[in-house]
Structure 1
């Protein structure tokens, strides 16, 4: 019989493989981490959201999502609109850094409420998060039978470790982003990633 530790390790590695990728959510966490702005609530929302979805998937919610393709389609359109809009804002920041002092800090300060709503949108308007957590991880967990909740714990742990490392580790890049041009390049990259992801959802 599989041990709890083995199931948890499998969940950790499987979760990490799904989470560690260039995406809209990771790009936003990175940007806010470099700015050292609202990092704790942003990391907490990302990790807790993944944990809730993983638990729901292991508990059988994935079958309901798979049976309701219209829900995923609705999320896809909303997510695409949000990503493209955010990408255009990032492109505007990259092209029009009117105030160099503000640009050196990545732009003006973001209110906590705005940061929370933005990271919630990046998390919950991403149709892939439902397919990855509710459907895929939920399906894989069934192969671990009685140890499926240890698998879920490992997958949720991967999310916590990744977002904590990304959010708080990003400050190591602060010296590089002391120059306005570095922020303009980062915003240009974010703009390309966001708009490309949005278009990919529409296609």
Structure 2
């Protein structure tokens, strides 16, 4: 019954989190250098899960109480997803790659924790993606369904960071190639457009 909602959350969460960026580059680089991999992956997952839960709980509750916000979240979310998908398609024609070769000095546990927290929480996009976007769309599902949506998004986050952190040796050569990101961007763009359509039909 809740499988479509769970898969929607997983698809949207995955599409947002897999975009090339500083956090993914940092996770990959620390993994390749074998420096505090478990700590880095765990912090990224916990932060994502907390922000997704806060978004779905807060934005969801607000949307449920305000019918006009429901319409705004529905069509605004669809518009944002279309724009996000369009940017993903544009990115598919660029020569971006994930550079994990940048030097990274040996650091202690406290410094590693502070660094990953800063990279994760000082990025304004993380709040837009998790609290606002996922919270708004997840909040459109009433009752327990919104938590299935959140669980799907959290699952995507867990799978991605675990794969990136512990599969770095395999993923690094792949994502160092622009073609890999082009294929990923095409998939992300298509998923985003599909989700945008599903919000309004």
The aligned counterpart of 1:145 is: 142
Instruction: Indicate the residue corresponding to 1:26 in structure 2.
Output: 24
Q: What's the Cα RMSD here? A: 2.5
Question: Following the alignment from structure 2 to structure 1, what is the Cα–Cα distance between the partners of residues 12 and 172?
Answer: 31
Quote the Cα distance in structure 2 between the aligned partners of 1:29 and 1:158: 16
Cα 1:33/1:51, change in 2 over 3 Å: same
Go from structure 1 to structure 2 and tell me whether the alpha carbon gap of 1:62 and 1:151 turns closer, same or farther (over 3 Å shift). closer
Q: Give the SS at the match of 1:53.
A: helix
Measure, in 2, the Cα distance between the counterparts of 1:125 and 1:174.
25
Asked if the contact 2:52/2:154 (under 8 Å) is kept, the reply is yes
- Displacement of 1:61 in angstroms is 4.8
Is 1:120 the counterpart of 2:111? The answer is no
Report matched runs for 1:75-114 at 5 Å.
106-114=103-111
Identify if the C-alpha distance between structure 1 residues 117 and 61 changes in structure 2 by more than 3 Å, giving closer, same or farther: farther
Please state whether the residue corresponding to 2:167 is helix, strand or coil.
helix
After superposition, what is the alpha-carbon deviation per residue over 1:26-56, rounded to whole angstroms, capped at 9, x for unaligned?
Answer: 1100100111111111000001100000000
Q: Which has the larger radius of gyration?
A: 1
Contact 2:59/2:139 (<8 A) preserved: no
1:36 corresponds to which of 8, 31, 34: 34
In structure 2, what is the equivalent of residue 10 of structure 1? Answer: 8
Report SS of the residue matched to 2:107: coil
CA shift for structure 1 position 171: 2.6
Which one of 27, 46, 49 corresponds to residue 48 of structure 1?
A: 46
Deviation readout 1:95-127 (Å, 9 max, x if unpaired): xxxxxxxxx994542212111110000111011
CA distance in structure 2 between the aligned counterparts of 1:174 and 1:132, rounded to whole angstroms: 25
TM-score between both structures, scaled by the size of structure 1: 0.61
Equivalent pairs counted in the alignment come to 135
Structure 1 unaligned segments of length 5 or more: list them: 65-103, 176-203
Larger CA deviation: 37-46 vs 106-115:
106-115
Asked if structure 1 preserves the Cα contact closer than 8 Å seen for 2:59 and 2:136, the reply is no
